[in-house]
A and B are shown apart, each in its own frame.
Chain A
Amino acid sequence: MNAKFKSWILLNVVLLIILFFSVILSLSIGPVKVPFWDSLYYLWNVMIHKSVEKNVYSIIILDIRLPSIVLAILVGISLSSSGVTMQNIFKNPLIDPYILGLSAGSAFGAALVVTEGLVTYTNFILLPIAAFLGGITAVLLVLALSYTSSGFESKNMIFAGLAVGYLFSAMVTFLMYISGPHLEELIYWLLGSFSNVIWGEIDIITFPILISVMLLFILSKEFNLIATGDELAKASGVNVKAITYTGIGLSTLLTALAVSMSGIIGFVGLMIPHIMRRIVGSDYRYLLPSSALGGAILLVISDTIARTILSPSEIPVGVITSFMGVPFFIYLYRKSINKEVVV
C-alpha cells in the first residue's frame, strides 16, 4: 500500500469520526431539552433491541431528530456523489447536480400536485413521487434536446439544461401565482427541509441511493479515464458513451431521490467535491467516497444549525447551505484571480 492510499484511509477515518460526533451532537440538540445520556441510551437501545419504550424523549430522539439526521446523511451522500460524477463527466469543476434542469423539474412536479390539491392524507407519498418524476422528466428533455447525430456534447447539454431549467422555473412561478391555499406549503417545500420525513419514506430511498453510489464507485477507473478526455479514454478501451449515460443516469437518480424527500438543497453538490478535490486530488476512487462523507457531514451540521439558530423556529436547510455558498464562491473567485483554477 502506498503512502497516498494510507493517508486517504486516515482521512476517511477522521471524516467518519467527525460524522459520528456530528450525529451525536445533532441528536442531543433541539428546541426541547433532552438529557444528553438519554439520547445515547435510546439510540443504543433501538439498535440493539429494535424497539424502545415510547415516551416524550424517545419519540423526540428516534422519531423526530433521528429521521432528519438519517435523511441528511442520505441526501449529503447523494448530492456529493452526483456532484463529483457530473463534474467528472463534464470535465468542469463548476458543475452541480442540478445542471441538467433537475431542480426546476422537481420543483415543477411538486408544484403541480400541490397546487392542484392532489396531495391528500392517503396519498401524501404523491408529492415525493411527483418531484422525482419531474426531475427525471427535465433531464430526459435536456438529453433529447441536446442530442446530435454525433452523440452528446457537454456544451449542448449545459445550454439545454439552462433552457429547460428556465422553462420549468417559469411554470413553477405561474403555478405559485394561481395557487390558493397551498402556496405556503409549496414555498416551504422548495426551500428544502428534513423535518417532515417519516421512516417509511427513508425506507424507500435508502437502498437505491446506496446501490447507485456503489455502482459509481465500481466505475471509478472508467471515470478517471473519461476525465482525461473522450479521445484518450476511447483509445484506452472505455466505452465513452455508455459510461457517460450511466454516469448521468445514476447522478440523476441520486439527485432526484434526494430532492424528492428534502426539497431543493443547493451548493452541497458543488462545494463538497471542490473542497475534497483540494484535499484528496482528482482520483475518482478517492474523491467519491470522501465527498460522500463530506456531504453527509455538511448536511448533518447544517440541519443542526437550521434547527437551533432561531430555536424554537426552524430555518429551512436550503437557506443555511445557500448562506454557506456565498463565502465559498468568494473564496473560489479570489483564488481564481490569483492563479489559474486547478481542476
Chain B
Amino acid sequence: MNFKNNKSILIGAIVVILLIASFVGGFYTYKLTTNSNTTQISNKTGLVNSTNTTITIVDDTGRFVTIQKYPQRIVSLAPSNTEILYKLGLRSKIVGVDSEYDYTNQQWYQFDLNNTTQVTNSTAINYELIVSLKPSLVLAAGITSATQVEKMVSLGLTVVVLNPYTMHQIINDVSLVGLITGQNAIAQKIVTNLTNILNNIENKMGYATSRPSVLLTYYPDSNGYWTYGAGTFGDRLIADAGGFNVANNQTSQYPEISQEGLMALNPMYILVGVGPYGLNVLSYSSINPLWNNLSAVKGNTVYTLNDAYISEPDITLFSILQEMAYILHPELFNLTGNITGEVINGTTPVSNLNVTIITSKGNFTTQTNSTGIFTFKNIPAGPATIDITYQGKAYTYAARVIYLNMGYINLSV
C-alpha cells in the first residue's frame, strides 16, 4: 500500500467511518439486548400492582420488578436483608447468603448456615452458584453494584435491591419484603413496633434544647479512632438521637480521627461500639495515652453500645438508636441518673458543705463528706445546675446528671 496523499486521506476517511459505524452498530445491538434500557424507573419505593399470581413493586433503586407469588427460594446478598427475612419467619426459604459477614456475631442470628450456600466472596458475586440454586428472588443491597445487578438480570434472575438511607426507609423495606413474600401480617407487626420506637424518639427530640457532641467509634488503634463520617448510618443515628457527630465534616465516610484530633474535638460523649472488633473500653487508655485527658473520660460519659457495628441498615439499628437517645437525652425520657463530684478550694477539699442540684424535675440536696466528695444517685437525669454557698459566696455550676454511669464534676471555689 503506497501512501500518496489523496489516496491516504480517502483511505483514512473510510477507516474512520468504518470504525464509527461499528461502534454505532455495537451500541444499537447493546440497546436491543440489555434489560436496563427497557426498565421503567420510579421515585417511590412500594407496591405498584398485585394480581392473582404476581406482584409488581418499585425497589429502592427505582426499578419496577415483577415477582411471582410467592418466592420459595431466596438468595440474600447482605446481612441486613438476611435479618429482615429471618425476622419475617422466612429462614427456611433462604437458600443463599453472602459470605462477607460473620453471621454468628449478630444478635438476631440463631440459625446455622446449613442448607444455605455462600454465594459471594467479599464484593465479588459467584453467578454460577446463584444460578445453580434456582432462586425465585435475589435480595441485593447497596453494596451490590449496578453492573452486578444487570448481570444477574441478564441471567434471568428476579432481583430486588434494598438500599435504605434513613431509618424510615428501613421500615419501608421491611414492609416491602413482607409484601413480596406474602408475610404481610408479621411485617406489619414489625413495622408498627419500629414506627413506634422511631416516632417516640422523633417526637421527644422536638423538646431537646441542645445537641451534645458525640464521637461514635468502632475501632481504636495506635493512630486514632475509626468513626463514621457524613452519609453513614452511624452519622445518621447520632443526628436522630439528638447528638452532633464530631466526625461529620470529614471527607471520608469511615475516617480515622487521630489522638490529637480527638483532644481538639473533645466530645461530650464517647460511644464505643462493641462489634466484632470488641475491645474493652478500659483498654483504650493503654492504646491512647491522651485518653484520660478527654472531658468525656473525666466526666464518665463514655458508653459501650451493645451491638454497634453500624455499617448495615438493619433492624437492630432501632434498638441502638433508642440506647443512644437515652444516653444523650435522658431528660426527654424521664430517666434517672447519677452524678458525683468534688468541691475543692485550691487544693484543699471542702468537707461538710451543702450541695444542691437543680434538675428539670426537682431539687436535691446533700453534703460533701470528709474528702469533699458528694454523690447524687437515681435523680432525674439530664442537664442540671449545682448551687453551693462557701464562705458567704454563692457559686453556680452547669452539670449533667448521667444516665446509667456515674457522672463526675469538679467544683472549684
Which residues does A use to contact B, with CB under 8 Å? 30-32, 54, 56, 59-60, 63-65, 119-125, 127, 177-182, 184-185, 188, 193, 195-201, 203-208, 211-212, 215, 218-219, 221-222, 237-239, 242-243, 246, 253, 312-314
Contact = CB atoms under 8 A, between A and B. Distances in A.
A122 B143 CA distance: 17
Nearest to A239: B3
B36 A64 contact: no
Contact of B252 (A119, A177, A205, A243): A177
A312 to B, nearest CB: 5
Contact of A60 (B3, B8, B132, B229): B132
A121 B128 contact: no
Contact of B145 (A119, A180, A212, A243): A119
Interface of B: 1-3, 8, 12, 15, 18-19, 22-23, 25-27, 29-34, 36-37, 39, 41, 61-63, 121-124, 126-129, 131-132, 134, 142-143, 145-151, 154-156, 161, 229, 231-232, 251-254
A127 B31 CA distance: 16
Nearest to A310: B121
Contact of A64 (B26, B155, B231): B155
Given A54-B156, A124-B150, A200-B29, 20 more contacts: A32-B128, A60-B132, A64-B155, A119-B146, A121-B149, A122-B36, A122-B39, A125-B30, A127-B147, A180-B229, A200-B31, A203-B33, A204-B23, A204-B29, A207-B22, A207-B25, A208-B19, A208-B22, A208-B26, A242-B3
A173 B33 CA distance: 35
Contacts of A120: 61, 146
Q: Which 3 pairs, one residue from A and one from B, show the smallest C-beta to C-beta distance?
A: A180-B253, A207-B22, A313-B121
Given A32-B132, A203-B30, A59 B145 contact: no
A181 B41 CA distance: 23
B389 to A, nearest CB: 54
Nearest to A208: B22
Given A56-B131, A124-B147, A205 B26 contact: yes
Contacts of A246: 12
Given A124-B36, A312-B121, A59 B147 contact: no
Given A59-B155, A121-B149, A218 B253 contact: no
B293 to A, nearest CB: 29
18 contacts: A59-B131, A65-B128, A119-B146, A121-B36, A124-B36, A177-B251, A180-B229, A180-B252, A188-B124, A195-B124, A195-B127, A201-B30, A203-B29, A204-B27, A215-B15, A221-B1, A239-B8, A313-B126
B230 to A, nearest CB: 9
Contacts of A200: 29-34, 154
A211 B26 CA distance: 13
A180 B128 contact: no
Task: Classify the interface of chain A: helix, strand, loop or mixed.
Answer: helix
Contact of A185 (B18, B25, B41, B123): B123
Contacts of A122: 36-37, 39, 41
A180 B155 contact: no
A230 to B, nearest CB: 14
B19 A211 contact: yes
A196 to B, nearest CB: 5
A211 B15 CA distance: 9
Nearest to B119: A312
B26 A184 contact: no
Nearest to A197: B151
Nearest to B133: A56
Nearest to B150: A124
A316 to B, nearest CB: 8
Contacts of B254: 180
B63 A212 contact: no
A253 B101 CA distance: 41
Nearest to A174: B251
B124 A313 contact: yes
A177 B255 CA distance: 9
B269 to A, nearest CB: 24
B91 to A, nearest CB: 23
Contact of B19 (A177, A212, A313): A212
B59 to A, nearest CB: 9
B26 A196 contact: no
B121 A56 contact: no
Nearest to B132: A32
Contacts of B2: 237
Contact of B232 (A180, A204, A222, A238): A180
Contact of B8 (A64, A203, A212, A242): A242
Contacts of B128: 30-32, 60, 64-65, 312
A181 B124 contact: no
Given A180-B231, A200-B34, A59 B19 contact: no
B186 to A, nearest CB: 29
B33 A314 contact: no
A312 B145 contact: no
Contacts of A253: 19
A69 to B, nearest CB: 14
Nearest to B21: A207
A120 B146 CA distance: 6
Contacts of B151: 196-198
Contacts of A205: 26
A67 to B, nearest CB: 9
A122 B31 CA distance: 11
Contacts of B251: 177-178
Contacts of A313: 121, 124, 126
